[in-house]
Amino acid sequence: EKRERSIDPRIEKVISTIKSMAGTPLTAIELAQIAGLSESRLAHLFNEQTGIPIRRYILWVKLQKAIVEMINTNSLTEVAHASGFADSAHFTRTFRRMFGIVPSSLNIHP
């Protein structure tokens, strides 16, 4: 019988912070302070607990926010800035790397 492991409360707190601050730059130092861990320990524990590196998770949350923002605006530049990306080119490159398509191909606004 496989038992589900519960997530460490420090990691839950970091996940909650990342979600609530999506679009706001968060440094590894800030997240480590929130968790009360060193940067390296946070990175290791986060990966161990969630199965993905913390940087990839932050990127995933930013891209989720961007998709929601795309519903509200036609401007990829506005979407990029609201989601914490430097510009629309950076957003498009990151989106394509993560999902294999460019954001404009989603046809959210037919």
Q: In the numeric block, which tokens belong to residue 7?
A: 């997530």
The answer to whether 78 and 69 are in contact (CB under 8 A) is: yes
For the cut 60, the answer to whether the pLDDT of residue 43 exceeds it is yes
Domain boundaries, the chain: 9-106
Which pLDDT value is given to residue 4? 62
Check: CATH 3.40.50.970 for 9-106? no
CA distance 70 to 91: 12
CA distance 58 to 98: 12
For the cut 80, the answer to whether the pLDDT of residue 3 exceeds it is no
The answer to whether 83 and 63 are in contact (CB under 8 A) is: yes
The band of 106, judged by pLDDT with boundaries at 50, 70 and 90, is confident
pTM of the model: 0.83
